[in-house]
């Protein structure tokens, strides 16, 4: 672990170049698209994917692949609808579009919703990883959980504080190599430990179906597929964290190439994670292990019947997956707060640099504080609900951007958009409770579409409007 972190710091120092705000926020807009695309594989997956996706196979089969297919469509919309918009606006953050389209009120609303969403999402993603590392590594060393969290985030701060997104783009290349290497080698070693009789249970012990068409089933194809499309639009296309990397590419064409390459590669990588999940389930069954869900991969990785290298691969792969997500989240939170909330671009370079450094430390401490404070109350299985939570927090952003793209209506009220953005997820939650009781239909990941539609409807009905 020490060697791995040392290599991260070395790469960050080697490729950062200048340590000014332009480098931190935009990477000077000269990143090679293929480096961005490869690094985004790790950033798109995170520690939750590394642990939870294999753990879902036992109960959900390969149904998650339906959602991944929706990702491909979502990435296509991002590449050919949203990216041209962002490059035309030529702003440091993607929420600059909201300012030019609606005004300052919508601009601040969009930025705050992103900051809240990413702060909570990044914290709980990192919580899952910290909890696993605590049990496997730091408890035997006698270190408390809070110290594990502080050390983890301090290391992320260390290799991102100078170069920001520029450092993240190049360190994420190493993170992706480590994560994919751990994934492939874990499959190899676990397969090698299975007997022909164990492998014969592939089709019998665990459901390996991909497509489900029962409307009442939460795994229904259209629920998963549409959920994948709109979650990708919201959590990637409308998320400063993911778009900040794309906007460092030299041209729009390179950025679009990056998006579509990533879409295809993610299908293959997620299929490997699902394959790993089935192998883990078969191994646990064959060896009488009572481990399920998020506990499955960690339990099998440290099994005495496997070579110790599997446990090492698991830990390094988990760290790589978690850090490639957390480092970009901290950078994006810092960028959005500095640019969208504090207006740092209007200040002198010296003052802007000072503000950015303070905010970066503050965001690091905020994530650490949320993880530590939530630790007594959070069960790791709650992490599975991140996509559901995203349906509530990203829905208003989806509605704001969708309405702005299809309508010329101008809103003059400064209070209406913030109120609508708060009311939309509240009503969505109410519908998620009422519709199953009244009609027997249970919402899945398509809940974000309902939330976005409500927000779009509120904007269409906005008072005191004029047509440009």
Say if residue 76's pLDDT is above 90.
Answer: yes
Please report which helix (H) or strand (E) contains residue 243, including its range: helix 240-246
Structure tokens at 455: 């927000």
Say if residue 369's pLDDT is above 70.
Answer: yes
- Burial degree of 181 (CB within 10 A; 0-12, 13-18, 19+): middle
| Rounded Cα–Cα distance for residues 192 and 275 (Å) | 14
Structure tokens at 158: 């260390």
Domain that holds residue 354: 2-384
256 and 36 Cβ atoms separated by less than 8 Å: no
Question: Which has the closest alpha carbon to 161: 338, 356, 366, 348?
Answer: 356
* Span 282-301, average pLDDT: 82
**pLDDT number for residue 316:** 84
Structure tokens at 45: 């997956």
Question: What share of the chain in percent tops pLDDT 70?
Answer: 92
| Rounded Cα–Cα distance for residues 247 and 90 (Å) | 9
Please report which helix (H) or strand (E) contains residue 269, including its range: helix 252-286
Domain contains 132 = yes
- 296 φ, ψ (degrees, to nearest 5): -70, -55
| Rounded Cα–Cα distance for residues 205 and 14 (Å) | 49
Measuring CA to CA, how many Å separate 155 from each of 76, 183, 265, 327, 447?
35, 24, 29, 10, 36
Domain contains 454 = no
CATH number at residue 226: 1.20.1730.10
Domain contains 410 = no
Highest mean pLDDT of the ranges 3-12, 21-30, 192-201: 3-12
189 vs 408, higher pLDDT = 189
- 417 φ, ψ (degrees, to nearest 5): -65, -45
Domain contains 398 = no
User: DSSP string spanning 326-365?
Assistant: HHHHHHHHHHHIIIIIS-GGGS-HHHHHHHHHHHHHHHHH
Helix count and strand count (H, E) for the chain: 21, 2
| Rounded Cα–Cα distance for residues 106 and 360 (Å) | 24
| Rounded Cα–Cα distance for residues 111 and 97 (Å) | 11
Domain contains 447 = no
Structure tokens at 116: 């809240």
- Quote the number of domains for the chain: 1
Chain-centroid distance of CA 282 in Å reads 29
Structure tokens at 106: 């919508």
Max CA pair span of the chain: 71
Residue 93, SS3? Answer: coil
pLDDT bracket for residue 468 (50, 70, 90): very low
Say if residue 463's pLDDT is above 80.
Answer: no
Domain contains 103 = yes
Structure tokens at 295: 């506990």
Say if residue 132's pLDDT is above 80.
Answer: no
Question: Which has the closest alpha carbon to 230: 94, 421, 74?
Answer: 74
**pLDDT number for residue 467:** 39
**pLDDT number for residue 379:** 58
**pLDDT number for residue 235:** 79
Question: Which has the closest alpha carbon to 177: 332, 35, 16?
Answer: 35
| Rounded Cα–Cα distance for residues 147 and 426 (Å) | 36
Domain contains 392 = no
Please report which helix (H) or strand (E) contains residue 466, including its range: strand 465-467
392 and 425 Cβ atoms separated by less than 8 Å: yes
Taking only Cα atoms into account, the Rg of the chain, rounded to an integer number of angstroms, comes to 22
Say if residue 129's pLDDT is above 80.
Answer: no
* Span 207-214, average pLDDT: 75
**pLDDT number for residue 466:** 47
Domain contains 162 = yes
pLDDT bracket for residue 207 (50, 70, 90): low
Residues 6+ apart with CB under 8 A from 284: 290, 291, 296, 299, 300
278 and 198 Cβ atoms separated by less than 8 Å: no
Say if residue 387's pLDDT is above 70.
Answer: no
Residue-wise pLDDT for 141-192, tens only, equals 888 989 888 888 888 888 888 777 778 888 888 888 888 888 888 888 888 8
Name the DSSP class of 27.
Answer: G
Name the DSSP class of 410.
Answer: E
229 and 72 Cβ atoms separated by less than 8 Å: no
Least confident of 162-166, 259-263, 268-272, 347-351: 162-166
| Rounded Cα–Cα distance for residues 297 and 284 (Å) | 9
**pLDDT number for residue 454:** 93
**pLDDT number for residue 295:** 80
Say if residue 426's pLDDT is above 90.
Answer: yes
Residue-wise pLDDT for 277-289, tens only, equals 888 888 888 888 8
* Span 87-100, average pLDDT: 83
């Amino acid at each position: 672990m020490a060697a791995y972190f040392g290599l991260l710091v070395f790469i960050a120092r080697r490729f950062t170049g200048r340590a000014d705000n332009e480098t931190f926020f935009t990477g000077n807009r000269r990143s090679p698209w293929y480096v961005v695309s490869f690094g985004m594989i790790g950033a798109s997956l995170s520690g939750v994917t590394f642990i939870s996706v294999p753990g879902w196979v036992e109960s959900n089969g390969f149904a998650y692949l339906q959602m991944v297919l929706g990702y491909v469509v979502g990435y296509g919309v991002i590449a050919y609808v949203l990216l041209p918009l962002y490059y035309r606006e030529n702003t440091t953050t993607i929420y600059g579009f909201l300012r030019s389209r609606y005004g300052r009120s919508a601009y601040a609303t969009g930025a705050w919703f992103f900051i809240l969403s990413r702060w909570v999402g990044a914290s709980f993603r990192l919580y899952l990883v910290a909890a696993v590392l605590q049990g496997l590594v730091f408890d035997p060393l006698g270190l408390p959980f809070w110290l594990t969290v502080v050390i983890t985030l301090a290391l992320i701060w260390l290799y991102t504080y100078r170069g920001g997104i520029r450092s993240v783009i190049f360190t994420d290349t190493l993170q992706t190599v480590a994560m994919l290497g751990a994934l492939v080698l874990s499959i190899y070693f676990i397969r090698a430990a299975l007997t022909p009789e164990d492998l014969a249970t592939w089709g019998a012990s665990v459901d390996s179906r991909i497509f489900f068409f029962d409307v009442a089933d939460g795994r229904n194809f259209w629920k998963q597929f549409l959920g994948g499309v709109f979650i990708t639009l919201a959590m990637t296309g409308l998320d400063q964290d993911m778009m900040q990397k794309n906007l460092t590419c030299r041209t729009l064409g390179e950025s679009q190439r990056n998006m579509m390459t990533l879409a295809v590669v993610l299908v293959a990588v997620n299929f490997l994670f699902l394959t790993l999940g089935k192998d883990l389930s078969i191994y646990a069954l064959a060896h009488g292990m009572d481990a399920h869900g998020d506990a499955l991969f960690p339990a099998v990785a440290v099994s005495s019947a496997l070579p110790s290298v599997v446990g090492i691969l698991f830990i390094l792969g988990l760290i790589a997956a978690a850090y490639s997500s957390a480092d970009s989240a901290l950078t994006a939170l810092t960028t959005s707060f500095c640019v969208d909330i504090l207006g740092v671009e209007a200040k002198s370079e010296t003052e802007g640099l000072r503000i950015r450094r303070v905010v970066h430390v503050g965001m690091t401490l905020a994530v650490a504080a949320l993880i530590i404070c939530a630790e007594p109350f959070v069960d790791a299985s709650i992490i599975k609900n991140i996509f559901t939570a995203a349906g509530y927090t990203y829905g208003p952003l989806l509605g704001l951007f969708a309405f702005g793209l299809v309508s010329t209506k101008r809103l003059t009220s400064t209070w209406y958009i913030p109120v609508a953005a708060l009311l939309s997820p509240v009503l969505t939650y109410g519908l998620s409770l009422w519709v199953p009781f009244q009609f027997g239909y249970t919402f899945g990941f398509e809940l974000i579409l309902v939330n976005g539609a409500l927000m779009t409807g509120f904007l269409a009905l906005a008072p005191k409007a004029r047509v440009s």
